[in-house]
Amino acid sequence: KVLINILLNEVVLSMVSHSALSGLGTHGWRAPMDCLRASEVCNQNSQCSSRFRIMRQCLVGRDRTTMLGNRECQAALEVLQDSPLYDCRCKRGMKRELQCLQSYWSIHMGLNEGKAEFRILKCFAVPSHTETAIPIDSASAKGNLCSDTGKPCNPCLDAAKACNLNETCKKQRTALMATCSPATPIQQLHEPCNRKRCHRGLRQFFDRVQTEFSYPLLFCSCRDKACAERRRQTIMPACSYEEKTKPNCLELRRTCRSDPLCRSRLADFHMNCQTTPHSITSCPNDNYHGCLVSYVGLIGSDVTPNYVDASHTNITISPWCGCRGSGNHEAECEAFLRDFRENTCLRNAIQAFGYGTDAGLVPITESQSAVPSVQTNLQPAIITKHVINSNDVKQIDRSCVFSTCANLQVCLKICVVHCIFFQY
C-alpha cells in the first residue's frame, strides 16, 4: 500500500507539473495556440505579463537593435521564449488578425531582428511516406484559354466581363476603381490618388471577391500587348504601384518589416514562392496554388508587386523599387529584387494558371492539413486531367534560387522536414 501511495503521489505531481508547464510552456514540443489566446494566458501570469510589457517597449522606436541589446530586454525575451507566445500561430483572415500578428512579432522580431526571415520558420518532421497526390479541379480556368488561334482572343477582357456578371465582383471592382482614381484632373496634378486608401481597397477586393473571378483578372494568359496591358492595369498601378522616383528596395523592405501584416505576407511569399531546385515546377511541393495566394497577399502592401511592362512573351514581376544608393548592401538589394524578377516558381505558376498547364497532381502532406497556408475560400487554380510533363515547364535556373534561403537549407539538412510559416 505504501508503494502504491508513493506511485500515485508521483503521478499526481507529474500531472500538476504538466498542467503548470502547459500554461507557460517549455522549450520542448507543445500544441500551439493562436496568439490572441496565448496573450490571454500570458496576461494571467504576473511574470509573463510584466515581461511581455517590457518586450513591447523594447521594440518601440527606430533604434530597436540597441534596445534589444539591453540586458532587461534580453531577460524579458528569455522568459517569453518559455511561454505559449513563443510558438503561437496566426491565420490569414481570422478575426483581430492584426492584433494576433502584433503579438507574434513582439517576440519573433526580437529573435530575428537583422536576420533572414527564414529563421522564424517552424519545422515539423513529416515522414516521406505520408505524402500522397490527388487530382485537382477548378472552374477558374474555364474560358481562360484561346482555343481557336484564328479568332481574336483576349482572356483578360473575358475575365473582366465575367467579373461584371458577378454582383460581388462588379461592386468591389467599381469601388476599387473609384478609390484608386483621382476625382478631378486638378487633383491629379497635385496628388494622383490616396495610396493608402487604394492599397486598402486592393486588399478588400482580393479578400471579398471569389478567386474564380479575381484570379483570372490578375493571371489571365495573353498573346498580344493589349491583353497584357489590361492585365497590368488590374491593380490600378498609377496609384497603387508607380511613383515619380523608385525607392531603394532595402528601404522598402525595411518599411514593410516594420508593419506586422506586411512582414507576415512578405515572409509568406518567400516561403511559398522560393525557387526550389528539387521539384518539377520549381515551386515548394510543386504547389502553384500556395505561391499564387502568397503573391496576391502582397498586393496592397508596401511591397506591392506587379507586371513591370505589357510584354506578353516574357513575364517579369517586381515591386516598384531599385538598388541605386545601396552602397555596401548592393548585393543584398539585388538578391531581394531577383526574388521577384527572376522567380521561376512564380513565373511558372502564373503561366500555368493562364494556360492550363498546372500540375495534374499536387502533393498533399500532413503539414498542409495541420497548418494551412492558404485562404479558406481559395479554389484550386487549374482544371487538368494529366500529370505534368517535365518538358512543359522551363528548366530550373539555379542562379534564381533564393539567396536568402541559406538558413532554410541548413534546417532541411538537419532533418527531413516540410517547413511551414506560422499558419499563414
Q: Do 235 and 109 have their domain in common?
A: no
Residue 410 or residue 99, greater confidence? 99
Check whether residue 408 and residue 259 sit in a common domain.
yes
Q: Is residue 6 part of a domain?
A: no
Domain that includes residue 413, residue range: 132-420
Length of the chain, in residues:
424
> What confidence score (pLDDT) does residue 307 get?
97
Of 172-186, 188-202, 375-389, least confident by mean pLDDT is 375-389
| Pair 94, 67 in one domain | yes
Are residues 225 and 162 part of one domain?
yes
Tell me, yes or no, whether 81 and 196 share the same domain.
no
Does 110 share its domain with 137?
A: no
Please report whether residue 9 resides in a domain: no
The pLDDT tens digits for 214-251 are: 999 999 999 899 999 999 999 999 999 999 899 999 99
**Into how many domains does the chain fold?**
2
Residue 250 located in a structural domain = yes
pLDDT digits (tens, 9 = 90+) for 110-133: 555 444 344 344 432 233 323 333
User: Does residue 163 carry a pLDDT above 90?
Assistant: yes
Is 329 or 281 the better-scoring residue by pLDDT? Answer: 329
The answer to whether residue 3 is domain-embedded is no
Q: Are residues 222 and 89 in the same domain?
A: no
Q: Is 119 part of any domain?
A: no
Is 223 a domain residue?
yes
Q: Is residue 247 part of a domain?
A: yes
Same-domain pairing of 94 and 178: no
Examine the pLDDT at 181 and tell me if it is beyond 60: yes
* Residues 163, 294 within the same domain: yes
Buried b (16+ CB within 10 A) or exposed e, 24-61: bbeeeeeebbbbbebbebbeebeebeebbebbeebbee
In a domain, 123, yes or no: no
Based on the domain organization, do 295 and 161 belong to the same domain?
yes
For the cut 70, the answer to whether the pLDDT of residue 254 exceeds it is yes
Compute the average pLDDT of residues 2-7. Answer: 51
Q: What is the pTM (predicted TM-score) of this model?
A: 0.67
Position of cell 503561437?
88
pLDDT tens sequence across 57-91: 777 655 555 566 677 787 887 777 777 777 788 88
How far is residue 98's CA from residue 91's CA, in Å, rounded to a whole number? 10
Q: How far are the Cα atoms of 168, 204, 239, 390 from residue 178, in angstroms, in the given order?
A: 16, 14, 11, 44
Q: What is the pLDDT of residues 255-299, one digit of tens each?
A: 998 888 898 899 999 999 998 888 888 898 888 999 999 999 999
End of a domain among 61, 79, 114?
A: 114
Question: Mean pLDDT, the chain, as a whole number?
Answer: 71
Residue with cell 482572343: 153
Q: What is the pLDDT of residue 396?
A: 34
Can you give the pLDDT at residue 127? 30
Cβ atoms of residues 84 and 38 within 8 Å: yes
Question: Are 416 and 372 within one domain?
Answer: yes
Asked whether the predicted pLDDT for residue 22 surpasses 50, the reply is no
Q: Which of 60, 81, 114 is the last residue of a domain?
A: 114
How far apart (Å, rounded) are the C-alpha atoms in residues 288 and 241?
A: 24
Judge whether residue 195 has pLDDT over 60.
yes
pLDDT score, position 81: 76
Say whether both 67 and 168 belong to one domain: no
**Cα gap 140→78, rounded to integer Å:** 48
Among 114, 141, 156, the domain boundary falls at 114
pLDDT of residue 209: 95
